[in-house]
Amino acid sequence: MTACIQSVTMFGSELWWKGDYVPGTIGRADEMQLLVNQQARATTGCFRTTNLGALSMESGLRAATTQLENRQRRFGLRLLSLPQGDQAREIVGAPTEIGRRLTNALAYAGRTETTVLLEEPETLDAELLQDEEAEAGAEAEKTRSGLTVFTDGSRLDDGAAGYAVVWKNGSTWKGIKTHMGYNQEAYVAECAALARTLESASKRNSIPERVTIFSDAQAAIGRMASDGPGPGQQYALQARKHIAALRRARPGIIMKSDGAQHTMESPATRRPTNGRKLRQRSQTPVVWNG
């Protein structure tokens, strides 16, 4: 889908994309979004009435506007990464239409996030697993040592996004919920939830011997394995920082992140910050820390 269809549809968008409400490209993102929605329904088998935020999360396909903005931003970053003196590098910041657009794309502080080009890419020092729904459900029910955490990110049709992180503390469940504002994708919220989990684990008074994270977002888990430019990069970099802190505090710590290929239910009531209840397998309440 992404390699064969989206790459052809968005070919050259780094040069012709001007923005949602700029003459010349008005309506182009909406046309492409219809295609993205069709792709998402085709890959997941969902109905046309399926919530678009849930559809985006399950399929791993990002919104058309986000992809267009990021393609242009990555193009600008590639140009800036060229050696000093290369004429192509001088396009960014040049007093031309394309030069101004690339400059604005790199400086835009709305839907896109700040990314960086690392001189030496860092590997993720943790094990990433992807199980079928039944296998992941069985793993989630197991009793294991250390800290076991369940994460979920979501987005409403009005653009409100947020995430929740829950874990069991004795016989009760505790959690953290965060509202991320508007105009962010569920994919980004899922990435933020994973980074926040590792941050919370690294700040505990007693570092656990093992950290296991369950998430239903394969795309977000896969993003944690890459620190390259693009959506979710800041959370991938944060994850590496928190993992390094955990390993310094407890060198022998075991860290795993497990993702199901379908929706995985948590053993506790899980509520994202937008208030939409997910399915629950237990009536045990969660004590929210914030």
Domain final residue, candidates 56, 73, 107: 107
Domain final residue, candidates 107, 135, 160: 107
154 plus 71 within the same structural domain: no
79 plus 164 within the same structural domain: no
Tell whether 201 is covered by a domain: yes
d(CA 85, CA 70) in angstroms, rounded, equals 25
Token pair 């690294």 is found at 202
Helix (H, G, I), strand (E, B) or coil at 165: strand
181 plus 276 within the same structural domain: yes
DSSP secondary structure string for all residues of 22-70: STTSTTHHHHHHHHHHHHHHHHH---TTS-HHHHHHHHTPPPHHHHHHH
17 plus 75 within the same structural domain: yes
Residue 56 identity (one-letter amino acid): S
Domain final residue, candidates 72, 107, 142: 107
Residue 162 has pLDDT above 90, yes or no: yes
pLDDT for res 192: 93
| Residue 279: Cβ within 10 Å count | 9
Chain-wide mean pLDDT for the chain? 77
Residue 209 near residue 250 (C-beta atoms within 8 A): yes
Higher pLDDT, 267 or 80: 80
Average pLDDT over every residue of 69-83: 81
For 88-122, b/e burial (b = at least 16 CB within 10 A) is: eeebbeeeeebbebbeebbeeeebbbebeeeeeee
Instruction: Determine phi and psi for 155, rounding to 5 degrees.
Output: -145, 135
Q: Pick from 269, 156, 148: which is nearest to 215 by CA?
A: 148
Tell whether 118 is covered by a domain: no
100 plus 231 within the same structural domain: no
214 plus 253 within the same structural domain: yes
23 plus 165 within the same structural domain: no
Identify the CATH number of the domain in which residue 179 sits: 3.30.420.10
Average pLDDT over every residue of 31-36: 89
58 plus 159 within the same structural domain: no
Query: In this predicted model, what pLDDT tens digit does every residue of 100-151 receive, in sequence order?
Result: 888 888 774 444 455 565 656 666 666 766 666 667 667 777 777 889 999 9
pLDDT for res 191: 92
Residue 76 has pLDDT above 70, yes or no: yes
Give me the number of domains the chain comprises: 2
Tell whether 197 is covered by a domain: yes
Would you state the structure tokens that stand for residue 45, as one six-digit string? 């088998």
Confidence of residue 164 (pLDDT cuts 50, 70, 90): very high
Tell whether 59 is covered by a domain: yes
User: Are β-strands 147-155 and 160-169 bridged in parallel, bridged antiparallel, or unpaired?
Assistant: antiparallel
96 plus 140 within the same structural domain: no
pLDDT for res 72: 87
Helix (H, G, I), strand (E, B) or coil at 211: strand
85 plus 170 within the same structural domain: no
Q: Pick from 164, 165, 150: which is nearest to 272 by CA?
A: 164
How far separated are the first and last CA of the chain, in Å rounded?
39
Percentage of residues of the chain with pLDDT beyond 90: 11
Tell whether 168 is covered by a domain: yes
d(CA 157, CA 32) in angstroms, rounded, equals 18
d(CA 206, CA 208) in angstroms, rounded, equals 6
pLDDT for res 15: 85
pLDDT for res 271: 36
Would you state the structure tokens that stand for residue 169, as one six-digit string? 């503390």
Confidence of residue 166 (pLDDT cuts 50, 70, 90): very high
Give residues with Cβ within 8 angstroms of 263, minimum separation 6.
58, 133, 216, 279
Tell whether 212 is covered by a domain: yes
What pTM did the predictor assign? 0.57
Which residue range(s) make up the domain with 276?
A: 127-288
β-pair partners for 162: 154, 179
Tally of CA atoms within 13 A in the half-sphere of 123 that contains its CB: 4
d(CA 127, CA 8) in angstroms, rounded, equals 34
Tell whether 112 is covered by a domain: no
95 plus 16 within the same structural domain: yes
DSSP secondary structure string for all residues of 248-280: HH-TT-EEEEEEESS----SS----TT-PPPP-
pLDDT for res 274: 35
Higher pLDDT, 64 or 127: 64
144 plus 253 within the same structural domain: yes
Tell whether 157 is covered by a domain: yes
